[in-house]
């Protein structure tokens, strides 16, 4: 009986993971639409895109890339930790992931407010006087990094739920589907950033 039970659990787990993977496809297509728009405008106004991209702070961008990549590692480690039956370590690692995510957001805040100080924000007069391609570049910049930041926030909420559930023992060595799916989601957030970073910061 118990064997059948665990077999069913395994099936449920596979089912849940499959659902998550398909959901991640849809997320990729959601960003895909933006990448498509980026590709079109980049081809049309490549000179303007170069000029505009040089306004972005590559140092902050690189720092944020490091934060996100490291956080992807910690969340993957937390999954291994829970599978190897050390919930305390898993708790710590998820917490570290959250901390890195928070640092990412703080950085983003500094970066954006810096831009705002220079009057570079959607609809601003400074922006309207720039070239057409630069205008589009900054529009895409705000939309893409903004939507990405929104995903970071959603990921942080998911990870916080995991923290509580690890503490309560609801996420444990036998049931860790939630943590696994949250980690998958977090990797997606990371993956999208991996594309955003060179496309927006490094094309100068």
Task: Using CB under 8 A, list all residues that contact other proteins.
Answer: 11, 14-15, 18-19, 22-23, 25-34, 36-37, 40-41, 122-123, 132-133, 135-136, 139-140, 142-143, 147
User: Which of 15, 80 has the CB closer to other proteins?
Assistant: 15
The residue (of 40 and 110) whose beta carbon lies closer to other proteins is 40
Closest to 63 (Cα-Cα) out of 95, 107, 114: 107
Cβ proximity to other proteins: between 9 and 14 the closer is: 14
How many alpha carbons lie under 13 Å from residue 72 in its C-beta half-sphere?
A: 16
- Read off the tokens for 7: 């077999």
- Closer CB to other proteins, residue 75 or residue 136? 136
55 burial (CB, 10 Å; 0-12 / 13-18 / 19+) is middle
Smallest gap, in angstroms, from Cβ of residue 157 to other proteins?
Answer: 16
Distances (CA, A) of 28 to 15, 31, 55, 88, 131: 20, 5, 27, 33, 30
**Cα 85 from Cα 173, distance rounded (Å):** 5
* Nearest distance, CB of residue 32 and other proteins, angstroms: 7
C-beta closer to other proteins: residue 81 or 130: 130
Least spacing, CB of residue 1 vs other proteins, in Å = 17
Residues with Cβ within 8 Å of 156's Cβ and at least 6 positions away in sequence, in order, are 98, 101, 102, 105
Rg (CA), the chain: 20
Instruction: Provide the minimum distance between the beta carbon of 171 and other proteins in the complex, in angstroms, as a whole number.
Output: 18
Whole-number minimum distance, CB 40 to other proteins, in Å? 6
């Amino acid at each position: 009986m118990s064997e059948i039970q665990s077999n069913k659990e395994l099936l449920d787990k596979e089912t849940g993971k499959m659902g998550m993977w398909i959901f991640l496809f849809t997320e990729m297509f959601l960003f895909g639409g933006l990448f498509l728009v980026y590709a079109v405008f980049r081809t049309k106004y490549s000179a303007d895109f170069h000029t505009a991209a040089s306004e972005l702070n590559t140092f902050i961008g690189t720092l944020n890339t490091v934060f996100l990549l490291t956080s992807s590692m910690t969340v993957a480690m937390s999954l291994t930790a829970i599978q190897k039956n050390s919930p305390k370590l898993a708790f710590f690692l998820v917490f570290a992931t959250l901390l890195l995510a928070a640092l990412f957001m703080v950085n983003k805040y500094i970066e954006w407010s810096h831009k705002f100080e220079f009057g570079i924000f959607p609809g601003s007069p400074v922006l309207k006087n720039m070239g057409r391609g630069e205008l589009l570049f900054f529009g895409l910049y705000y939309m893409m990094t903004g939507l990405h930041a929104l995903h970071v926030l959603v990921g942080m909420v998911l990870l916080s739920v995991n923290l509580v559930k690890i503490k309560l023992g609801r996420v444990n060595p036998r049931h860790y589907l939630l943590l696994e799916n949250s980690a998958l989601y977090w990797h997606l957030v990371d993956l999208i950033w991996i594309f955003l970073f060179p496309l927006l910061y490094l094309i100068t």
